[in-house]
Amino acid sequence: MPLTVLVAMSKVEGFGEPGEIPTVANNPLDLIYCDESIHFGATGQHLHANGTPSGFAQFASVDDPTTGGWQAGRRWLSVPAHFDANRNLIGGYMGATISQAINRFAPGSQKGNNPLAYVTAVCEKTGLTPQTILTPTNLG
């Protein structure tokens, strides 16, 4: 059975894998630690075993319906998309194509990101195409 975009993205991020930051931080989408993740319920910044900050948000739980990591990821991706005059995604995600959303969510300009591989993996897991518009139904 195909996964929702939210669950597929969490798998690409490593959620569910022992020892991976998304798993230990209750943060399925590996959201960065910032004002927005705090607003969505982050309790602090995840720390590596040596005590150094990882840059990713820590959530008290993964499943809390208000402040858990799943809800934070859903809220993050539910922000309405904003486009420039050339239809380039410049803000938000909901209403953008999967390709546009992932290229904004995990840009190649950030170390370790490979947007093409990310889009391919999400589409394989969901059965959707890169041009599929992100909607509340396929987000999950």
Q: How many domains does the structure of the chain reveal?
A: 1
- Please enumerate in sequence order all residues whose Cβ is within 8 A of that of 17, keeping only pairs 6 or more positions apart, or say none: 23
pLDDT in 10s for each residue of the chain, 140 residues: 789 999 999 999 999 999 999 999 999 999 999 999 999 999 999 999 999 999 999 999 999 998 999 999 999 999 999 999 999 999 999 999 999 999 999 999 988 899 999 999 999 999 999 999 999 999 99
What CA–CA distance (Å, rounded) separates 68 from 28? 10
**Host H or E run for residue 46:** strand 44-47
Are 89 and 96 in contact, with CB atoms under 8 Å apart?
yes
pLDDT at 111: 85
What CA–CA distance (Å, rounded) separates 16 from 32? 18
Q: What is the pTM of this model?
A: 0.94
Are 29 and 73 in contact, with CB atoms under 8 Å apart?
yes
pLDDT at 29: 97
Are 31 and 68 in contact, with CB atoms under 8 Å apart?
no
Domain that holds residue 87: 5-139
Q: Helices marked H in 17-94 — which ranges?
A: 21-24, 35-39, 69-77
